[in-house]
Chain A
């Protein structure tokens, strides 16, 4: 069998070695991550391996099996055309299961004037789309998947991977941005249609700059516009659910999260369009962001 080919990626504080059995997704990764700093010392926090689940699957109806330092035993392989998605899922999986330096919140983050807006919610809430949209409108995109909360300083660190645009968000962003910012359209993936978007140059250049958390939002797409205050208990519980490593961090995670809940104003917002969300977000930012 041919040896795996590999590339190294540094995304925020995390460094990955991605090893693949096929050239096409490797070239795609290299193109989309070309502007990211090159971790040239060869060290990696995690390894992601993308290989055929059976030897003949390299050639016949090729399918990509995701493994690495951490993996899920029952993860279904993806067709080779979705190799980029497999790489992104593999990196997310390593972070979700293995990262210990920060409290991980499943949330998107954008920054302005050194202050971070964090948006968390269930899949379909629009947090990823909103962060991509704001990232093109005067905010610095810090990530659409994980906000990294530092237990020592309370600052948020960026993890600005490619943005994973889904379904109707794809057309909306394609209208605004040049084609070279996008990966290929991946149709009918397990998460619907997906097209990856390269973050703005500023987001990549400043990815090591942390930001102080200033506003937390729980967006929900598809409902009449509304803003709801939330109690600290509800915020705390929802953030423990949104964190993949809260339990693993023990006392450090408890102290980081309770301090975050004490200090960061939070609201639940409902919206039906990007323009509506942007208006609500700007208003709350002016009123509440400390």
Chain B
């Protein structure tokens, strides 16, 4: 069964682009995260509903006109896991 992810309910993230990285201020914890691409794009996809890693990969491929690729899905899955461990997103098992 796949895992689905979504930005934590009620969370406010403030993003600021700093050349090669993006600083993300998480209001609930007061922590500043420094992230690289494609994390800002992933966070945008997760803003309003639960999605799994395949759906996120598909949206990114469409948005950035990428070839369908197993690597993209693997990278997205790894980043989603990290975002969950950082407490930036919530996770549930797909119904």
A contact set with B: CB distance below 8 Å: 231-233, 235-237, 240, 247, 250-251, 254-255, 258, 261
Contacts and interface: CB of A to CB of B under 8 A. Distances in A.
B13 to A, nearest CB: 11
Q: Dominant SS at the B interface? A: strand
A202 to B, nearest CB: 36
B14 interface: yes
B32 A233 contact: no
Given A237-B34, A240-B32, A232 B25 contact: no
Contacts of B19: 231-233
A232 B17 CA distance: 9
A31 B12 CA distance: 51
Interface string B22-48: 010101001110100000000000000
B18 A232 contact: yes
A236 B20 CA distance: 12
Contacts of A251: 14, 25, 27
Given A233-B34, A247-B30, A254 B18 contact: no
Contacts of B18: 231-233, 235-236, 258, 261
28 contacts: A231-B18, A231-B19, A231-B20, A232-B18, A232-B19, A233-B19, A233-B20, A233-B21, A233-B34, A235-B18, A236-B18, A236-B23, A236-B34, A237-B34, A240-B32, A247-B30, A247-B31, A250-B30, A251-B25, A251-B27, A254-B14, A254-B16, A254-B23, A254-B32, A255-B14, A258-B16, A258-B18, A258-B23
A232 B22 CA distance: 10
A137 to B, nearest CB: 34
Contacts of B16: 254, 258
